[in-house]
Structure 1
Amino acid sequence: MASAAETAEGRLAIIAGGGLLPSYVAEAARLAGEDPVIVILKDESDRRWDGFDHAMIGIGDFASLDRLFKKYGIGRVVMSGSVRRRPEWREVRPTLRILTGVPAAIRTLLSGGDDTVLQMVIKLIEGRGLRVVGAHEIAPDLLTTAGPLGAVSPNKEDYRDIERAGEAAEVLGGLDIGQGAVSIGGRVVAVEGVEGTDGMLERVAVLRAAGRISLRRRGVLVKLCKPQQDIRADLPAIGVSTILNAKAAGLAGVAIEAGRSLVLDRDALIKAADENGLFVCGIDKGLPGWGLQ
């Protein structure tokens, strides 16, 4: 039986990139009585979608996406999961509306920053009368809560690193570059670029092993929403791999923005953090001391 939202606004489409998030959103939608359609991004999604109506399209194939929306009577769209690469010119298949009504769209999709691209995609989807909703609206249990999530809490030195890495992440996000930064001993040693959070943490581990950064001080990863970010797409997220990579990088813990970031596989993540002696906490950048002191 269709949910009230599905009856009133049409079916829900989940555009599925890589990682666990699309699966969590799909299951949450089903629990709410929805029958979501999964739009699998070719060469990005790594999940199996047996049991769901689904179809695969290439990155930038807006013509096929438009046909899918019409075929399944889609009224609402969620964009979820990671996208590792931008489409090449030859992969972009625009609709007539994009070619005639939004001539700058293709240039933006190929060369804009992540947030700029996502805002353009939202604009294109909503331009045909659909409503874009956030993953957190479908799966609100994924939202980060304020304060420590597990048994370990940050200490005084960690607070300083949280503030310093948070300041860097705020500036980085304002430039539409990334969402995360690492501070060790009050010094920002890494910021997130196109390699993503796990890639940045791997870089910190290499620098640590090479003696380029302190072996004595531990440090903190902070992830924040970009100041200008549309929270319906690409909220900061952490999972078990984040914890394991933070451990490998020698960090003391991970801090993410409360209410505007996602925790995937929460129980397993907390277990991994506790077992490895790392803290995980939600922070509020609007409060003194980020709401932790």
Structure 2
Amino acid sequence: MATITMMKTEAAAGLDLPPDARVGIIAGGGSLPVEVAAGSAGQGYAPFIVLMEGEADRLPELCRYEHETLALEAIGSLVPLLKRHRITHLVLAGEIKRRPRLTHLRPSLSLLAVIPLVVMALARGDDGLLKVVARGLEARGIKVMGAHEIVPNLVVAEGILTKAEPQKSDRRDIEAGFAAAKAIGALDIGQAAIAVGGRVIALEGIEGTAGLLDRAKLLRGHGRIAGKIRGVLVKCAKPGQELRADLPSIGPQTVEAAHAAGLAGIAVEAGRSLILEGPATLARANELGLFIVGLAAAEPAHG
């Protein structure tokens, strides 16, 4: 197995859009839409926010910008909505925890045109769906961008990002977890794994990283993981991942949950993962004595 290198690097440079560009953000849950909106506004592009009904949960911070709410079942009206507000560039940001119910979809000409593609994409998994959505929007003249292109300082740099550093045993866990996360990513199952004592003890499924860490906490609580044995959460992009949406991310809650599960640290793929609420995330990791490291990417990053 190839050795994973760790070293310090700087984040990429900022946003470069035409002066007449209009940035739209499809906002799901979590802090990512807030950070993207602030990043866009801070660089002179006041964003238009599409609040996904029942998903976007940072409403006070998002509703300060021009916005409209859209139900998942009304997704067929997304393109007309974006066109009406003259959106030229679009970012898909935040968690969408449920799929639209096909029987409740509101018919529209634009929806009917893409339903066969969406059905095929659903059969291929989440990443296939994201690629179809991106291609469909770009075919209609709306450029899809990644959150990392709007707010490059969210992107994880290579190296040790905290005061604590991984021990030799942690590096074995990182190697095992990285290989496992890439393997389940290739199957479009998840993006994360937990390794303890040099072997993988849990893989991310549909419940996400929070559910994965809860399972590890239960395993330790039930004595399935010895109390003093360290362990590592590893997150990485899926092979061939659509980088403009659903990049692996960690935040303050990830740090808290990893600590509660008795883990020694977190390793994420540099250049292809995000740290949300970065200062708070790193500060909390330092307070709890956890390490966070950015791992050299396993494949070149493509926007």
Task: Assess same fold via TM > 0.5.
Answer: yes
Equivalent residue for 2:285?
273
Query: Is this contact kept in 1: 2:272–2:297, CA < 8 A?
Result: no
Distance 1:123 1:169, change over 3 A: same
Q: Which one of 123, 140, 145 corresponds to residue 152 of structure 2?
A: 140
Q: SS of the residue aligned with 1:280?
A: strand
Deviation at 1:179, TM superposition (A): 0.4
Q: Report the TM-score, using the length of structure 1 for normalisation.
A: 0.92
Equivalent residue for 1:43?
54
Deviation at 1:150, TM superposition (A): 1.1
Distance 1:77 1:94, change over 3 A: farther
Question: C-alpha separation between the residues in 2 aligned to 1:61 and 1:165?
Answer: 39
Question: Are residues 1:205 and 2:213 paired?
Answer: no
List aligned pairs for 1:57-76, cutoff 5 A: 57-76=70-89
Q: Which one of 181, 196, 215 corresponds to residue 227 of structure 2?
A: 215
2:201 alignment partner AA: V
Question: Are residues 1:7 and 2:15 paired?
Answer: no
Q: Which one of 87, 90, 105 corresponds to residue 92 of structure 1?
A: 105
2:103 alignment partner AA: R
Query: Is this contact kept in 2: 1:239–1:264, CA < 8 A?
Result: yes
Matched residues, number:
283
For structure 2, the residue ranges without an aligned partner over 5 or more in a row are 1-14
1:157-186 CA-to-partner distances (Å, cap 9, x unmatched) read 000000000000000100011100000001
Question: C-alpha separation between the residues in 2 aligned to 1:238 and 1:11?
Answer: 28
Equivalent residue for 1:239?
251
Equivalent residue for 1:31?
42
Question: Are residues 1:192 and 2:204 paired?
Answer: yes
Q: SS of the residue aligned with 1:206?
A: helix
Deviation at 1:146, TM superposition (A): 0.8
Query: Is this contact kept in 2: 1:184–1:214, CA < 8 A?
Result: no
Q: Report the TM-score, using the length of structure 2 for normalisation.
A: 0.89
Query: Is this contact kept in 2: 1:60–1:94, CA < 8 A?
Result: no
Query: Is this contact kept in 1: 2:73–2:106, CA < 8 A?
Result: yes
Distance 1:108 1:91, change over 3 A: farther
1:64 alignment partner AA: S
Question: Are residues 1:55 and 2:78 paired?
Answer: no
Query: Is this contact kept in 2: 1:153–1:279, CA < 8 A?
Result: yes
Equivalent residue for 1:250?
262
1:16 alignment partner AA: A
Distance 1:200 1:174, change over 3 A: same
Equivalent residue for 2:6?
none
Equivalent residue for 2:274?
262
Query: Is this contact kept in 1: 2:77–2:110, CA < 8 A?
Result: no
Deviation at 1:94, TM superposition (A): 5.3
Q: SS of the residue aligned with 2:245?
A: coil
Deviation at 1:110, TM superposition (A): 5.0
2:81 alignment partner AA: L
1:73 alignment partner AA: R
Query: Is this contact kept in 2: 1:59–1:91, CA < 8 A?
Result: no
Give the percent of matched residue pairs that are identical in Structure 1 and Structure 2: 45
Deviation at 1:103, TM superposition (A): 4.5
Question: C-alpha separation between the residues in 1 aligned to 2:210 and 2:261?
Answer: 10
Q: SS of the residue aligned with 2:17?
A: helix
Question: C-alpha separation between the residues in 1 aligned to 2:102 and 2:298?
Answer: 41
Query: Is this contact kept in 1: 2:122–2:128, CA < 8 A?
Result: no
Question: C-alpha separation between the residues in 2 aligned to 1:285 and 1:144?
Answer: 10
Query: Is this contact kept in 2: 1:62–1:95, CA < 8 A?
Result: no
Equivalent residue for 1:172?
184
Q: Which has the higher contact order (CA 8 A, sep 6+)?
A: 2
Question: C-alpha separation between the residues in 1 aligned to 2:107 and 2:121?
Answer: 11
Question: Which deviates the most, 77-86 or 206-215?
Answer: 206-215
Query: Is this contact kept in 2: 1:86–1:109, CA < 8 A?
Result: no
